[in-house]
Amino acid sequence: MKMVDVGGKAKTDRLAVATARVRMQPKTLRAVREGRVEKGDVLAAARLAGVMAAKRTPDLVPLCHPIALSGVEVQVTPVVVGVEVRAEVKTVDRTGVEMEALTAVCAACLTVYDMLKSMDRGMVIEKVQLEHKSGGRSGVWTRASEGQARLKAKRGNR
């Protein structure tokens, strides 16, 4: 078990974007949209929880390096099936910030769930995924569109 040594890597600008969503019942979503949630403002709480969780990533993910994040932005938006979360994390460091972006979206989704669970325990957190990363030796990575992804998955299965 080791946190791999990144001491030899260069400090470069790194960016990661992750997304996820909380699927919920239409009436739950209406309560969010109309601000009728007993515990308070769901979207604001989720955004803040996401930003704060990005900073806690190395406490949660055992082999993650502690990283000096230079910027974190979390968006939480009502969509058709529920609430969508998008986190963008930046650093100038020796290793990437994919885990920070993914942790931020998880925490934001968990916060959405927590604030609404008394109305709708069946909500599902879905599609927690990296959308894009840049910087570092492995360079740019961007998620293929759903169609491309299905093709790729097929090839991978062969």
Applying the rule CB under 8 A, the residues between 20 and 39 that interact with a second copy are 20, 25-27, 38-39
| Active-site residue identified among 41, 59, 93, 114 | 114
As measured in angstroms, the least distance from the Cβ of 153 to a second copy is 7
Q: Provide the greatest CA pair distance for the chain.
A: 53
Dist CA 4 CA 96 (whole Å):
13
Dist CA 55 CA 72 (whole Å):
9
Q: 69: closest CA among 58, 59, 54? A: 54
User: Interface residues for a second copy in 85-144 (CB under 8 A)?
Assistant: 90-94, 98-99, 102-103, 106-107, 109-111, 113-115, 117-118, 121-130, 133, 138, 141, 143-144
User: Interface residues for a second copy in 34-93 (CB under 8 A)?
Assistant: 38-41, 44-45, 47-49, 51-56, 58-74, 90-93
# chain residues binding a second copy, by CB under 8 A: 83
Q: Is 114 a catalytic residue?
A: yes
Q: Are 77 and 83 in contact (CB under 8 A)?
A: yes
Unique residue bearing structure tokens 């460091």: 93
Active-site residues: which are they? 114
